[in-house]
Amino acid sequence: MALERLAACEDPKARQGAKERLGEIFEQAGNRSAAVESWRSAAQLCETSQGEQERVRSLYERVLEAAPDDGEAARRLVILYADREEWNKVPELMGVVLRTDCERGSELLLRLAPRALDGWLRDGLVAMIDEAIAWLRPSSAWVRELQHAKARALAAPPTRYAEACDAFRALVDTFGSADDAREYEAFIASIPDADERHGQRRFLYQWRAARDAQPGAVLFAWAQEEEAHGAPEAAIAIYERFVQIAQDRDRAPAALRIARMLVDLGRPVEARGWLRRATEFPVRVRLIELYRCDTAWEPLASILSDASTRSEDPRQRVAYLREAAAVLQDKLGQPGAAAAALELALPAAPRDTGLHVELAGLLESLGEWPRAANVLRQCIAACCEPSPKERAILYQRLARALRSASDLEGALAQLRAAARLQPRIRRSSWTSGKSRSMRVVSTSLRARIERCSWYSAIPSRRVRQSHAPRSSSA
């Protein structure tokens, strides 16, 4: 057939015309798929020629008319219409592209987004972005980029502030990017209504405070903004959150601000309480520093114990009590008082293995074996150490405490538990009087135990006696 020969010739113009004519013949014969492929080939040949854009558009329109779900033809037409700034024809065709290949469609949509905004197609662009997000998997990398483009589109003049804020909040909430948060903050500054601007900044402060490992600076800045905006109740609540997590030296300014606002609110009794705290914080910190420098151990231990009762931060409370215990044990030679200080710290750090082991060692040095056993039981029950070897040494320590408290059955049960975790432990060493198995411990926990101040304070003879076998008469 002459047309088929022309369609295979070397002249691009002749080949293109023949393929276009063949497509019409195939369509008349009812062979739509052959017509589509013939017109597609003709359009691709036209794309290589200058000044043939109108013909290319006409051919791809014929392809899409014969095959409405042809994503590639729709994609080519979207690009052609965008080049001609016929934006009103883009949304329907973009829907075809997104349905057939949402990843490539999303990439094309993002590429055209800035031009679409310039062409005053904001509503259509936002609708296309929403459709693209609906077709994509939530894990797709394109979702964040599309949500970002949507937020920017809504923020562009004339701005739709409420919708833009919702888009930015969804973006920040979902992906948690600091860059997105900064862009959102810059947009908030453009909001004309002061109350709406403050409400959006409040959300941003909440988000940052929840994500920051040390949110003190965020909370203080947030409280200052609430105070400046005329929301004293909200400011007081946030300052109180700051006081709970701040170091003592940083709490006084917040306490003074709380006191001033309480006076303004007509609550003088509460204000006096906060004024007392505002003066206590810096004085206490300075006294602790002076007592340390002067090696005034008794007043240092006393003020550390007092500071622990007044501190609202559990970590700070434990630090005060640990230092007080170290002073009482190492400097004042009062292991009983040191043990009492560590016992007060336990509720604030129930999963701190080192604290439990240190307290148990002090109680052992005092011969308080039942109390030492109780502390070790608490430590094991809290599952403080995930490693089987580290749990095994805790069982061994508990067995020694129970044995010294004359609870031989309990001690044997703990050794059995340790043996199940660490096969090298042998129950025979218990009856033979050998303590080698009692010393099969994990390197990390052994090092931790030996660093404790109580470990070196136990006389070696007492340690040897605690491991020695009982006589047959016993």
CATH number at residue 223: 1.25.40
> Is there a domain that residue 291 lies in?
no
pLDDT for residue 265 is more than 70? yes
Whether residues 362 and 464 share a domain: the answer is: yes
pLDDT for residue 43 is more than 50? yes
pLDDT for residue 443 is more than 80? no
> Is there a domain that residue 396 lies in?
yes
Whether residues 192 and 228 share a domain: the answer is: no
pLDDT for residue 170 is more than 70? yes
- Reported confidence tier of residue 449, pLDDT bands at 50, 70, 90: very low
> Is there a domain that residue 287 lies in?
no
Task: Quote the number of domains for the chain.
Answer: 3
How confident is the model at residue 228, as a pLDDT?
93
How confident is the model at residue 233, as a pLDDT?
95
Task: Report the pLDDT averaged over residues 108-132.
Answer: 85
Range of the domain at 454: 350-474
Whole-structure pTM value:
0.56
Q: CA 195, 199, 205, 209 torsion: positive or negative?
A: positive
Q: How many CA atoms lie within 13 A of 420 on its CB side?
A: 6
Per-position DSSP letters for 353-420, written without gaps between them:
HHHHHHHHHHHHHTT-HHHHHHHHHHHHHTT---SHHHHHHHHHHHHHHHHHTT-HHHHHHHHHHHHH
The last residue of a domain, from among 192, 211, 230: 211
How confident is the model at residue 427, as a pLDDT?
41
pLDDT for residue 285 is more than 70? yes
Burial 427-460 (b: 16+ CB within 10 A, else e): eebbeeeebebbebbbeebeebbeebebbeeeee
The last residue of a domain, from among 276, 294, 312: 276
Whether residues 172 and 259 share a domain: the answer is: no
Whether residues 460 and 359 share a domain: the answer is: yes
Report how far residue 151's alpha carbon sits from residue 134's, in angstroms, rounded to the nearest whole number. 16
